[in-house]
């Protein structure tokens, strides 16, 4: 079964909009685990507009499943990850002012940089993953960095599937096959939702984990958080 890691950035956005501690981020994380979620993901950004760095510190001791911290490995982020020691760190090349992640790494150009960062995290016993566009050309250089996994950036899949184009899955399939052959684990995330997740899971071999936040929280406004988590888990079986 592919694991479901729930990104709770949007819970923090809602909390921050009003101030105070409603909704309670820590309680939501614990509830998601009790509903069957198999991981919690956060993506702190330098301006802390949703997840705050202190949130990551507060979450670490209470998460019983897996804790995944995503972000661009600037010095502040690296220090946070080494302090918190999550299960997994996912490296994302997003600009500080990016509304959301919008590209994967060029692992050919940034191979040496990624190798050094990844060695630092792995030396601390933290599993590493590289956010990657669906392009098999990047797999050899990704593997050379020493990363444990890649995370397929799935925005293009979501857009294609919504338009009825099931052929949009091919570059993701090709990249996943190449990654598995190179000894890399395969994660995926971005714009995955209840409508497109089952086909993606069906077509991508050796898919270990998906990280879903915006869609899952939005769907929960109508269907309820516990129900939506269960719906994703059924589709990922």
Show the domains of the chain with their CATH numbers. 3-236 (3.20.20.70)
pLDDT tens per residue across span 68-90:
999 999 999 999 999 999 999 99
Active site residue 110: no
Catalytic: which of 33, 155, 190, 209? Answer: 190
Q: Which of 70, 151, 155, 219 is catalytic?
A: 70
Rounded Cα distance, 15 and 33, in Å:
20
Q: What is the pLDDT of residues 144-195, one digit of tens each?
A: 999 999 999 999 999 999 999 999 999 999 999 999 999 999 999 999 999 9
- Per DSSP, the three-state class of 129 is strand
* Catalytic annotation present for 180: no
Read off the pTM. 0.95
Q: What is the pLDDT of residues 157-168, one digit of tens each?
A: 999 999 999 999
Cβ-proximal residues to 98 (8 Å cutoff; 6+ apart), any chain: 45
Clarify whether 43 is annotated catalytic: yes
């Amino acid at each position: 079964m592919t694991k479901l890691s729930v990104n709770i950035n949007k819970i923090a956005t809602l909390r921050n909009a009003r101030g105070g501690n409603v909704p309670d981020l820590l309680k939501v994380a614990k509830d998601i685990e009790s509903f069957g979620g198999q991981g919690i993901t956060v993506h702190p950004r330098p301006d802390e507009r949703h997840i705050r760095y202190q949130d990551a510190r507060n979450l670490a001791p209470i998460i019983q499943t897996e804790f995944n911290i995503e972000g661009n490995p600037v010095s502040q982020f690296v220090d946070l990850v080494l302090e918190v020691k999550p299960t997994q760190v996912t490296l994302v090349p997003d600009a500080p002012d990016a509304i959301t992640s919008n590209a994967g790494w060029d692992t050919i150009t940034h191979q040496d940089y990624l190798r050094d960062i990844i060695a630092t995290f792995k030396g601390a016993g933290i599993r590493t993953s590289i956010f990657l566009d669906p392009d098999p050309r990047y797999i050899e250089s990704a593997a050379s960095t020493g990363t444990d996994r890649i995370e397929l950036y799935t925005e293009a899949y979501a857009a294609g599937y919504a338009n009825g184009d099931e052929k949009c899955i091919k570059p993701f399939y090709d990249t996943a096959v190449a990654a598995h052959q190179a000894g890399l684990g395969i994660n995926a995330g971005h714009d995955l939702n209840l409508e497109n997740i089952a086909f993606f899971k069906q077509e991508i071999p050796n898919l270990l984990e998906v990280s879903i936040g915006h869609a899952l929280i939005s769907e929960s406004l109508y269907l309820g958080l516990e129900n939506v988590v269960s719906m994703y888990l059924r589709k990922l079986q």
